[in-house]
Amino acid sequence: MTSTPSATYFALVAPPLLDSSSGWAWTAMRRRGRFTSIVSQSDNGLMPSPFRKDQLSPEMARRYGLDRTPWVAMLVSIVVIVAFAGVLGWIGLSMTTGVKTRVLTWDDSAPDHVTIDVEVQRDGAAPLECVIRAQDRTHIDTGYAIAAVPAGSGTVQWSYALRTIAPAFTVEVLGCGPPGELRVTPPQFPPGVVAPSQPYRP
């Protein structure tokens, strides 16, 4: 003879998950000898499920709405992809401007200025602007200037006397481009220090 499950068994063991053709689910629980029925339904007609999608069969996942892709996640993914493509496009455009620069020589024998010789190769003969920067041993700016390169041949060499607030340890050309379209690092002088006027004149 099989004995009837005890009240403790009914209180601890949850009833199995049942399929329902109407989208409603009925659960029976026994608490202290009484049965209580709970009937619930979500606003979209789908029962909320305490299970993950990988714990259910495809049919049950569809019934509980777990096979749907949230539209918010899709929208965020599209925004991220578009932003990433825009960054790649901007980088590609900045790398194909057709302007190449090379520092030929520079003289830092004077404590208040440095003379730099630069070669610029460009497509066409349009005027350009080049940013020249000098720094000390601690990588603090000592001189910063935007130098104009007049229209002319595709390859041009020119000199510039950059005024500095201290002896220069390094000198470089940050970039060249059409006037008003340069995207380079701004001046980085110590707080409270005014950038010296340019260019240097004896």
- Give the start-to-end residue ranges of the domains of the chain: 7-63, 70-97, 100-177
What is the Cα–Cα distance from 161 to 88, expressed in whole angstroms? 36
Whole-model pTM? 0.53
Sequence-distant (6+) residues with CB within 8 A of 99 are 120, 121, 122, 123, 128, 175, 176, 177
Pick the CATH number of 100-177 from 2.60.40, 2.40.50, 1.10.3470, 3.30.200: 2.60.40
Tens of pLDDT, residue by residue, the chain (202 residues):
555 555 554 555 555 554 444 444 444 444 444 444 444 444 445 555 555 656 667 777 666 665 555 666 677 778 888 777 766 655 544 444 578 999 999 999 999 999 999 999 988 788 999 999 999 999 999 999 999 998 888 899 999 999 999 999 999 999 999 998 888 999 999 999 999 999 999 8
